[in-house]
Amino acid sequence: MKKSNYFFAAAAVMMLAAACQDEGDIAAPVVQQAAEDRAASDSQETGKTLLTFTAGDGDASVSLQKTMYGDYANGTTPILWVTDDQVSVFPVSSSDNDMGTVKEGGKSDCVISVTTSEDANGYFALYPYNAYAEYSAADGKFSNIVIPAEQEVSENQFDPAADVMVAYSDGIEKSFAFKHIGTKLGITVPCSDVSEIQITCSADIAGTADVDFSNVSGAEPVISPKSDASTKTITLTCSDADGFKKGSIYYACLFPTADKSDIKITFVRKQGHLTVFYNAKINAMARAKRCTANPTGQKCHCLVTLDNLNKDENFPDDATKIVFGNTSQKPNADPSGNLDGLIDFYKVGTEYYIISEHEICMNGSLDEMFLYLNNHYEALKTVDFCNFNTENVTSMYNMFNKCSALTIIDLGDKFITSKVTDMGQMFGDCKSLKTIFVKEDFQLDKETSSANMFTGCQALVGGNNTKYSDSYKNDASYARIDGSEGKRGYFTKRSSSN
């Protein structure tokens, strides 16, 4: 197997997905024949010759040229070959499947030798070697190609036996530029004592397939899974002595036809506990990092991509409550996931808790954060921002718009609007919303655009019994605690029990 090093999120898988590098940064492995090393074969196979190839970094403009991940440095990923790696070589004019072997690995250039037929019409190649694979030049198709359903991975790596690639070389240049037939899913392990990772999907993601691939310049492989020999489940086990490590990334190889938004990841723990994420893109909901500009002078954690919560469907549709809390609100349960060691996720029945030791803050925009949320999560009734700091938030436009089933929103003690310039339609058409809790000394810190902020909130009642009315203003002039300074408002003062 060749080695290259490279990280990419997937998934944001909860998936928990990981830090990325762009695949275009990866140097392309090219296999070239060393003409001076060609020699007559001592093979007993008549008509075959021992051909010696060299393998180098190749054309960096060709994407997806990698097998194993290695060290990413200086803007590129080196290709490191591994001694005794094996490749299937198919002369175009015969039905032979000959095994080529890497004789000298561990560096960017290596020697590969294969005993095969001289063929002016060229060669097709398959990585890794598969004795049962065939190539038909007449059909332009590989058959019996396998992405295994059971994959053995190591930290920051994937199973090389699952990283299937194909290539073509004409009979003159004798140069292979491999192309992947599958895709990869990066998964960050959120907890300790994981014995295996199970990946399931409604579509086939592993098994046996045919691959259309011709000798036309620029041709890309097209995979066709065999329905009677494919599976919707992949199981990852770890080859490292210490097993899966909390916070580390592991990669699964799967058919590219799989819809990543439909993937479920299950972490099987050694004590029998199952940790389930319903969507491999869960990390798209919130990627954690330490604050570079702390709004309060206290240690905090930042959620930097939280604005598309509804679009990525990061919670199952039975969620009734979402809480952004501190450790005092941590439920009596094992965490279901973790973001970069900073924020823990808990699932208790149909309630979901996002817990951090210190403040959770958001930098930038909360526009459309929960827009149309209840089109996906019709059971969701409560959102609690009790440990959510908004001092660096600049816009809240459409933040809860059309959350038709929400009844309670607690904005917490750290709901700060000093940098917010737009609250337009923030609660618009939240027709079931009854109560909005804010801190005791809450007040808007600056003049903001706030047209239709409360339009359609027909069930909303302030803490002093001011009921929503179309005859009242719909803008931020009612974004105050009801009864404060003798004025009407739609907010309710938080109590110590909130």
pLDDT tens-digit map of 342-377: 677 788 888 888 888 778 877 677 887 776 554 545
> Is the pLDDT at 52 greater than 90, yes or no?
no
- DSSP-derived secondary structure for 113-176: EEEEE--TT-EEEEES--TT-EEETTTTEEEEEEE-SEEEE-TT---GGG--EEEEE-TTT-EE
pLDDT at 478 over 90: yes
| Least confident piece of the model among 23-32, 270-279, 449-458 | 23-32
Of the candidates 352, 316, 312, the one whose C-alpha atom is nearest the C-alpha of residue 331 is 352
The pairing of beta strand 249-254 with beta strand 183-188:
antiparallel
CB 212 within 8 A of CB 150: no
pLDDT band at 455 (very low <50, low <70, confident <90, very high): very high
Amino acid 413 reads: D
Phi (first) and psi of residue 329, to 5 degrees: -100, 10
What is the per-residue pLDDT for 19? Answer: 25
For residue 308, the model assigns a pLDDT of 34
**The two structure tokens encoding residue 202:** 């409604």
- H-helix or E-strand spanning residue 376: helix 373-376
What pLDDT score does 368 carry? 76
**Per-residue pLDDT band at 497 (split at 50, 70, 90):** low
Tokens 């899966």 belong to 244
- The chain-wide mean pLDDT, for the chain, equals 74
Q: Which two tokens stand for residue 485?
A: 């300074």
- Counting residues of the chain whose pLDDT is more than 90, the rounded percentage is 29
Lowest mean pLDDT among 52-61, 114-123, 175-184, 199-208: 52-61
Q: Could you give the maximum distance between any two Cα atoms of the chain, in Å?
A: 101
CA within 13 Å, CB half, 159? 20
152 phi/psi in degrees, rounded to 5: -105, 115
Supply the pLDDT for residue 314. 47
Q: What is the arrangement of strands in the sheet containing 134-136, beginning at the earlier edge strand?
A: 134-136, 141-147, 206-212, 222-231
pLDDT at res. 107: 61
Provide the pLDDT for residue 257. 67
Higher pLDDT, 372 or 49: 49
Side-chain-side CA neighbours of 149 within 13 Å: the count stands at: 14
What Cα–Cα distance (Å) separates residue 155 from each residue in 187, 337, 341?
Answer: 10, 18, 17
Kindly state the tokens that stand for 27: 């140097």
Assess whether pLDDT exceeds 80 at residue 270.
no
* pLDDT-derived band at 130, boundaries 50, 70, 90: very high
Distance CA 240, CA 243 (A): 5
| Alpha carbon distance 221, 50 (integer Å) | 28
82 vs 489: which has the higher pLDDT: 489
Q: Which residues contact 123 (CB under 8 A, 6 or more apart)?
A: 89, 90, 91, 92, 116, 168, 169, 171, 174, 176
Q: Is 64 left (phi over 0), alpha (psi -120 to 50) or beta?
A: left
pLDDT, tens digit (0-9, with 9 covering 90-100), for 74-129? 444 444 667 888 889 999 998 899 998 877 666 656 667 889 888 888 889 898 89
Cβ contact 86:164 at 8 Å? no
- Residue 113: how many CB atoms within 10 A of its CB? 18
